[in-house]
Amino acid sequence: MKDVIKFFDDLPLIVKVIFALPVLDILWAVYRLCRSISKENALGIVLAVLMLFFCPAIFWLVDIITLLVMGKVIWLD
Give residue 26's pLDDT. 87
The DSSP annotation for 22-58 comes to TTTTHHHHHHHHHHHHHTT-HHHHHHHHHHHHH-HHH
Give residue 46's pLDDT. 92
pLDDT for 20 beyond 70: yes
**Tell me, what DSSP letter sits at residue 32?**
H
pLDDT for 11 beyond 90: yes
* Averaged pLDDT of the chain: 88
Q: Is residue 48 within 8 Å of residue 32, measured between CB atoms? A: yes
Provide the whole-model pTM. Answer: 0.86
pLDDT for 2 beyond 90: no
- The values of phi and psi at residue 34, to 5°, are -65, -40
